[in-house]
Chain A
């Protein structure tokens, strides 16, 4: 910046201004000190005094004495080193864990690719569907020399990703149908059903839905028919997410000016054609931030499947520290878990910002909502 012209440097005029400056300066200084102190303590715990690995004891199992000695002083990252495979993949046979690892990488890769407009093509859906089928097959095995692994041995991150991805992928069309039915005027029965579904599900916590799916659903099924626990949880999850997303979609539909519906019908487009080409593309783009918000919430909510004995990544982490040798090192494990969840949720938030900035330009609306 150029030096200010010759205006004399004004002394801090009033006592009042001086005092305000003094207060703001000292608050800032205090905050800086506080942050520095916390950071220092954290680094001391997490880095300088941390125990990164432990030797094996005489019985071959890890000897955690070093960690015990440092308890409270330094982090025991050795627990992560020892347990990360179990946290990530649960009871999946150790030697076969490259299979869930591959599945996780596949999911991450596909999610990343889905963010680029270059790949926005109907075939992306086919790729996703193919990837889901392939992942399930790979997890099960039983072909091409891969040992069969029953679903109740699956666990950890693949479960979380499966539940969230399949759940949202199927909940989304369900939500659109429910929202359209609820917003429709012509079919009172369909509308009533949709309202019943949305309000019933929204009035019940996910936990109780999961319980119902795991305990009550089998009671209603004819004997001999059994649905895998994971599938039952998945169904509960789809129904739950569908009801919430339906309300988000409905808000988007309601925010569209009435003129858009009228212009579409006046051109002779059928109901489904107007929805497909005129109404939904706009309604959904307007609700991207809300949709992502809901997605992030559900990603985290998948951890509730622990109540029905499914080992998602949260449950495997809790199980990992049940072993007496590792008891007391929960903080480390939960931090590790937090990093995983944060990575996924933060990426989703970032994705949302990308999508919003992409769709903002042509949608600078020219009309007021009716």
Chain B
């Protein structure tokens, strides 16, 4: 198994092997294995508390796994601040609650890490920030503070902020769940553009329309396990497990 990993290193962005994670006595990830190829777009869904967030947070070390192996861009994750920082530079993350820095302007939010972590000059960082802000259609708000923007705008800034580090992989944790319905569209549109430009992404979401349109693979998690996965056409139309059938009927009824 591990030889396959190394020989495919150029093509494989993330490998998780038999990852286990406990919160105290709560067993949150139970033997999760997953490998993500470059350019692949993966959507993860599952009931609340099934461990979706925990799984993707293990990939950039916001949570540390207890057992198994996680390899990101050829580096195995360990509890080592230096290594974690190196890996995080290559992994962008977008949170449900945006988590923009409220004391910095939109532009400063986007230039902070490129300047401090990548060592870009202010001019270079600002030029890059404006480029990505334009890509998420919000360049005209660059001088504003996050609190002056709508939720949808804030989330697009958060996406731009992550992109400014030019990561090899983007993680999204329910990026549209905290948004008013009329703002979901603008954020999804940006994510679709991103997916179509070949960005490798792992996205936890219940937006099944998005999954059908851009995902190469959809993954269903329940109680800390990957129960089923497949291309969207198969995943949605011919679910095999009872749990996925139940889950799909629930979310489709809700929608």
Contacts and interface: CB of A to CB of B under 8 A. Distances in A.
Given A263-B95, A273-B117, A366-B146, A268 B81 contact: no
A367 B97 contact: yes
A270 B85 contact: yes
A273 to B, nearest CB: 5
A257 B162 CA distance: 19
The dominant DSSP class at the A interface is helix
A366 B147 CA distance: 6
A267 interface: yes
User: Which interface residue of A271, A277, A281 has the most chain B CB atoms within 10 A?
Assistant: A277
Interface residues of A, number: 26
A366 B154 contact: yes
B113 A268 contact: yes
Nearest to B161: A267
Interface string A258-270: 0110111111111
Nearest to B118: A268
Interface residue tally on B, bucketed by range: 20 to 34
Contacts of B162: 266-267
Contacts of A363: 102-103, 147
Contacts of A270: 81, 85
B95 A262 contact: yes
Contact of B93 (A266, A273, A362, A365): A266
A275 to B, nearest CB: 12
Contact of B117 (A268, A361, A362): A268
A361 B97 CA distance: 20
Contact of B99 (A257, A282, A361): A257
A366 B81 contact: no
Interface in B93-123: 93, 95, 97-103, 105, 112-113, 116-117
B103 A282 contact: yes
B44 interface: no
Interface string B63-106: 00000000000000000010011101101110101111111010
A268 B117 CA distance: 7
Interface string A226-265: 0000000000000000000000000000000101101111
Contact of B112 (A267, A282, A364): A267
A260 B103 CA distance: 11
Contacts of A364: 102, 147
A114 to B, nearest CB: 20
A259 B97 contact: yes
B236 interface: no
Contacts of B92: 266
A362 B88 CA distance: 28
A49 interface: no
User: Which interface residue of B62, B99, B103, B147 has the most chain A CB atoms within 10 A?
Assistant: B99
CB-CB nearest 7 A-B residue pairs: A263-B99, A259-B99, A267-B113, A362-B145, A268-B89, A266-B93, A268-B88
Interface of A: 257, 259-260, 262-271, 273, 277-278, 281-282, 285, 361-367
